[in-house]
Amino acid sequence: MAVEVAGRERINLLGLERPALEAFVGSIGSKPFRARQLMQWMYGRGESRFEAMTDLAKDFRARLADCAQVRAPQIVRTQQSADGTRKWLLRADATQAIEMVYIPEESRGTLCISSQVGCALDCSFCSTAQQGFNRNLSTAEIVGQVWLAARELERDFVPPPGASPGQRPITNVVLMGMGEPLANLRNVVPALRIFTDDFGFDISRRRVTLSTSGLVPQIYRLADEVNVALAVSLHAPTDDLRSELVPINRKHPIKELLEACWHYLDEQNGRSVTFEYVMLEGVNDQPGQARELVRLLKGHPAKLNLIPFNPFPGTKYRRSGAAAIQRFRDELLAHGVLATIRRTRGDDIDAACGQLAGRVQNRATVRLGSKTIGLAVQT
């Protein structure tokens, strides 16, 4: 994102992947290797002040200060759960705010980030969807979340027992926060490349996960653009039920969605697709529905992540009981489909899956299942 300062625009370097950053430093009279140095300072050391980048020539630092900046979203509020989960409310602009969540575990630390202010998909069980949709986040705003969280977390980070040498607090990044990442493909893809770049955050592609509700054309495009882990919000074994829960299914039904998933794995030599399945009492949690999922997924490189529903104000749904979820998982396992149950984290601060709401004003009445889909999808 560029901002105007004293009549000129200063470009936010967090929004530039390596080739674009090399082109930028070339445009101000420096060699391409300066871009790699800049990336090491920004991502390896979390530095935003050009004057502190001491191995850069003074005249180059002066030119950077004149036309560039390293600027992350501003923190509005921080909350910490009893289980260690941390949530930040971040200012997107004067009226809008987004949320991101950090989930610490013994062997890893996962940062869940947002890709849009609000969401247009209108999934009936998701709090974010009830906020409406305002706009896409820029690449700098997406990358800035990880940059900011790394700086915040590294202040007091103590590596857990058995951690690898040099382990940092953020080992995994998931685009599972506010918004549909594939509806903002133009800005999301450069961010993914920065996350996995050796001179960026240097995160393994298998530890960067993009979660989508099923924008099929964009899954095919993603397969041509970048190699990361893919997670898909399935939530139902039949088109009738999925269209009720996830309205985009009316445009891209399950068969079409699964074909796109298998194509993505073929193109990217991926191990498997994770299918997310929120457990709703009396809606999608019956053993017969588990067997229908088996017919869809058995024999394919797929695993199901069963997610206990996290309630929010005004919802009509209830969480499936623990016994029902266990029975559902056992049915899947007995028929050869890998399934796990996600442990709920951060629900005491509304940081659990499906609870992120942020602050969305001036909302657009755009629904991706409708004729106005083109208004909300930026490719």
Q: Encoding tokens for residue 355? A: 């609870």
Picking from 376, 379, 378, the residue whose alpha carbon sits closest to that of residue 132 is 376
Picking from 227, 177, 217, the residue whose alpha carbon sits closest to that of residue 197 is 227
Catalytic annotation on 22?
Answer: no
Which listed residue (99, 141, 180, 331) is catalytic?
Answer: 99
Q: Encoding tokens for residue 149? A: 């969280």
Distance CA 374, CA 172 (A): 31
Q: Tell the residue number behind the tokens 């530890």, with chain if given.
A: 207
Distance CA 120, CA 365 (A): 8
Distance CA 359, CA 90 (A): 9
Catalytic annotation on 99?
Answer: yes
Is the sign of the CA dihedral 156, 160, 165, 168 positive or negative?
A: negative
Cβ contacts of 134 within 8 Å, gap of 6 or more: 96, 116, 117, 118, 360, 361, 362, 363, 364
Catalytic residue annotation: 99, 353
